[in-house]
Amino acid sequence: MDKVTRKTTRRIMLGDIPIGGNAPISIQSMLSIKTSNIPEATTQIRELISAGCEIIRCAVMDISDANAIKELKKISKAPLVADIHFDYRLAIASIENGIDGLRINPGNIGKIEGVQKLVAAAKERNIPIRIGVNSGSLPKDLVQKYSVSAEAMVESALRHIKILEDLAFYDIKVSAKASSIPLMLESYRKLSKACDYPLHLGITEAGTTLSGSIKSAIALGILLEEGIGDTIRVSLTANPVQEVIVAKEILRNLGLRKGLNIISCPTCGRTRIDLIGLTEQVEKALKNYSDYPLTIAVMGCAVNGPGEAKEADFGIAGGIKEGLLFAKGEIVKKVPEELLVKELLALIQNHIGKQ
Amino acid sequence: MDKVTRKTTRRIMLGDIPIGGNAPISIQSMLSIKTSNIPEATTQIRELISAGCEIIRCAVMDISDANAIKELKKISKAPLVADIHFDYRLAIASIENGIDGLRINPGNIGKIEGVQKLVAAAKERNIPIRIGVNSGSLPKDLVQKYSVSAEAMVESALRHIKILEDLAFYDIKVSAKASSIPLMLESYRKLSKACDYPLHLGITEAGTTLSGSIKSAIALGILLEEGIGDTIRVSLTANPVQEVIVAKEILRNLGLRKGLNIISCPTCGRTRIDLIGLTEQVEKALKNYSDYPLTIAVMGCAVNGPGEAKEADFGIAGGIKEGLLFAKGEIVKKVPEELLVKELLALIQNHIGKQ
């Protein structure tokens, strides 16, 4: 099978997480809690990390948020990134409080003295900066010149990059988000040709869990399969833990990350069991096994099921009142319907135990 | 913006739906009811059509299913396709009962006399045949030669195609489904180079609603954006109506179909309202407007919201206790929070009424 050939980018370090230069693609999310609300932010950081989030961004809107970073760094095993608009002093305060990365656009800060101070502070502590271009907030002159287009997105990014490069700062990561998939794809493709900084992929204003996941899966899926992208964020109007779950599924499905893969056939006129209920039961029973590189099949039809799911490590196929337990296409045994999930789980646990 | 350049394929007609030759990409689903259960099958056909399903497949496992087609054709405004394994007599019975298309693999029928009879009957009524190759049921000799691979998938498809072409039958559509995305992508890419028959895209055993949608969005999204694919089915272990909703979202997001696009920002530390609840309210309120080509934004932040969602036709941005109603980036008016959705809906209805 064709393996994805990744575009080689410069490597930066965000805390202990490498980004770019063929490092594994890392998963990011963002706190939906005000950063200065330390108790709730702590809970959400723990939930995100336990779901598999590797980099956590938080909005720094005022000095209380910047100061909270000191406490949050004590409990977070994942690097933290401060998201700052315009005010370089908040960036410096975040750096002093131990932040691992910044998301700030140097072209929007105003006076160059502010940019110089910020860059000096970031350089001293090896803190990378993400330049985040967004189709909704492009500079007016570029919109007039190019309209809201990939050309405007890329030129805006290159302007911000130049400001940092002129200060001999190269620990840069870039994003070019839009809510339109064609615009987002073209922007990242052009950006990937125009520079070799690592790229942070994302779709903005994606939507609620299902439609936002579909949108991110298409856009991130297309770029990742082309070899573009070094770290990803799935943006959803939902609990950020859900963003991490969806991001993991996207990477796993493209073979970019190992983990549990549950496959199940669509219900059809041949199905004689409650396949939807059964699959949901299996998903629930295997919730804590998401990092094991196993393929588990839930098939509706005992005649074709085991054969059609030969690539599955383990699987069940429903019949009338009883079903089959199978492994790599071979039948292991017949089981009464109500014991199918239990027996499948036992088989998997036994397998994992033996490893 | 780059427009998708579609690969030109031969055009076939499935009832009154054109497939291939730059026809719009059509959406398919499959009955999860036994075809002979006419009352329930009728209900599901109506639900599928009302959700936007354009082609409906049904399993024909026995003669009672084949005979039911006569009744179902009376109520179905969408063409029906009979899904048949091995038994050419069921295919002929389906044709006699008025079916619009067949899904059957001629290489699996056995004696050539059966294939000849089937092809003669299909040709007489201009009924197209879909050849459906599946990674789980490849011929043993090809698996031995190539293992389960894109080469085996494509050679299997070409063998079936040759049987039909040798009988001067060319009303062919082909699918090459797998549950592994890399295998599926490579198979369709090779198939698209190897023949010019229209391609039916799908991932098999995709999974439940969310993870199955992610999988289909990645795989179908990648191929459609490359210009490959003429008709699609999203397979989910869920109510088939859900498959149609997801298929429509995939096409819409790639600019391949017009319709309602609801965008909403992720919640972040800057959000001061119940954005998730608000977005879900908007989605629900606009459920019946899915075919209108409008972009509606639901933004969490009154300061940046209207500007960041300039491309939205209409939108709301939440503040504390009150919010903004905006159109094309311009503020229309301030509204108390509890009236936001109602006022948005009134604005949209007024706009649609004026068209």
Residue B240 at interface with chain A, using a CB cutoff of 8 Å: yes
Nearest residue to B178 (alpha-carbon basis) of A12, A194, A109, A253: A253
Instruction: Supply the pLDDT for residue B262.
Output: 86
Cα A250 to Cα A31, A101, B113, B242, B332: the distances in Å are 21, 25, 47, 20, 39
Instruction: Supply the pLDDT for residue A141.
Output: 94
pLDDT at position A2 over 60: no
Q: Do A181 and B255 touch (CB under 8 A)?
A: yes
Residues of A whose CB is below 8 A from B263: 179, 204-207
Share of chain A above pLDDT 90, in %: 66
Which of B58, B133, B204, B214 is the mutation pick for testing A, counting most A CBs within 10 A? B214
Q: Do A183 and B263 touch (CB under 8 A)?
A: no
Q: Do A205 and B311 touch (CB under 8 A)?
A: no
Chain A and chain B share a number of CB contacts under 8 A equal to 254
Of A2, A137, A250, Cβ closest to residue B186? A2
**B354: part of which helix (H) or strand (E)?**
helix B340-354
- What are the sequence ranges of the domains in chain A? 12-253, 261-353
Given 3.40.1360.10, 3.40.50.300, 3.50.50.60, 3.30.413.10, which CATH number is that of A261-353?
Answer: 3.30.413.10
Instruction: Supply the pLDDT for residue A267.
Output: 67
Alpha helices, DSSP H only, in chain A?
38-51, 63-75, 88-96, 112-124, 140-146, 150-166, 181-194, 209-225, 240-253, 275-285, 305-308, 340-354
Structure tokens that stand for B64 in this block: 């009672």
Distance from the Cα of A107 to chain B's closest Cα (Å) equals: 18
CA distance B246 to B355: 27
Of A179, A243, A265, Cβ closest to residue B204? A265
Of A134, A183, A215, Cβ closest to residue B308? A134
Residues of A whose CB is below 8 A from B236: 266
Residues of A whose CB is below 8 A from B255: 181-182
CA distance A344 to A194: 50
Q: Point out which residues pair with A231 in neighbouring strands.
A: A26, A200
pLDDT tens digits in sequence order for chain B, 355 residues long: 446 788 999 999 999 999 999 999 999 999 999 999 999 999 999 999 999 999 999 999 999 999 999 999 999 999 999 999 989 999 999 999 999 999 999 999 989 999 999 999 999 999 999 999 999 889 999 999 998 899 999 999 999 999 999 999 999 999 999 989 999 999 999 999 999 999 999 999 888 899 999 999 999 999 999 999 999 999 998 999 999 999 999 999 999 998 888 888 776 666 777 888 888 888 888 888 888 888 898 888 776 777 777 778 999 888 777 888 988 888 888 998 888 889 999 989 888 886 6
**What are A26-63's pLDDT values in tens digits?**
999 999 999 999 999 999 999 999 999 999 999 999 99
pLDDT at position A203 over 70: yes
Residue B262 at interface with chain A, using a CB cutoff of 8 Å: yes
A166-195: average pLDDT: 97
Residues of A whose CB is below 8 A from B65: 269
Distance from the Cα of A206 to chain B's closest Cα (Å) equals: 6
Distance from the Cα of B199 to chain A's closest Cα (Å) equals: 19
B240-253 helix and B38-51 helix, angle to the nearest 10 degrees: 20
A205-222: average pLDDT: 93
Residues of A whose CB is below 8 A from B35: 269
Instruction: Supply the pLDDT for residue A353.
Output: 80
Residue B281 at interface with chain A, using a CB cutoff of 8 Å: no
Torsional sign, CA A289, A290, A293, A298: positive
Indicate the pTM of the whole model.
0.89
**B278: part of which helix (H) or strand (E)?**
helix B275-285
Instruction: Supply the pLDDT for residue A3.
Output: 60
Residue B65 at interface with chain A, using a CB cutoff of 8 Å: yes
| Contact map slice: A 204-223 vs B, CB within 8 A | 204-215, 217-219, 221-222
Instruction: Supply the pLDDT for residue B276.
Output: 83
| Cβ within 8 Å of residue B351, ≥6 positions away | B294, B313, B314
Burial class (CB in 10 A: 0-12, 13-18, 19+), A16: exposed
Q: Do A263 and B299 touch (CB under 8 A)?
A: no
Q: Do A213 and B209 touch (CB under 8 A)?
A: no
Burial class (CB in 10 A: 0-12, 13-18, 19+), B108: middle
Span of A116-120, A256-260, B38-42 with lowest mean pLDDT: A256-260
Instruction: Give the type of residue at B153.
Output: M
Instruction: Supply the pLDDT for residue A38.
Output: 98
- Share in percent of chain B as helix, strand, coil (round to 5): 45, 20, 35
CATH of domain B12-253: 3.20.20.20
**What are A64-98's pLDDT values in tens digits?**
999 999 999 999 999 999 999 989 999 999 999 99
Instruction: Supply the pLDDT for residue B281.
Output: 87
pLDDT at position A301 over 90: no
Mean pLDDT of chain A: 92
Strands A12-14 and A17-19, by their bridges, are antiparallel
Given the cut 0.90, state whether the ipTM is greater than it: no
Residue A317 at interface with chain B, using a CB cutoff of 8 Å: no
Of B149, B253, B275, Cβ closest to residue A214? B253
**B314: part of which helix (H) or strand (E)?**
strand B314-318
Scan for tokens 């690539």, then name that residue. A311
Structure tokens that stand for A88 in this block: 């370089």
Which of B83, B133, B264, B273 is the mutation pick for testing A, counting most A CBs within 10 A? B264
pLDDT band at A1 (very low <50, low <70, confident <90, very high): very low
DSSP state at residue A98: T
CA atoms within 13 Å, Cβ hemisphere of A104: 33
Residues of A whose CB is below 8 A from B210: 209-210, 213, 246
Instruction: Give the type of residue at A63.
Output: I
Q: Could you write out the DSSP letters of every residue in B109-134?
A: S-SHHHHHHHHHHHHHTT--EEEEEE
Residues of A whose CB is below 8 A from B211: 249, 262, 283
DSSP reduced 3-state for B253: helix
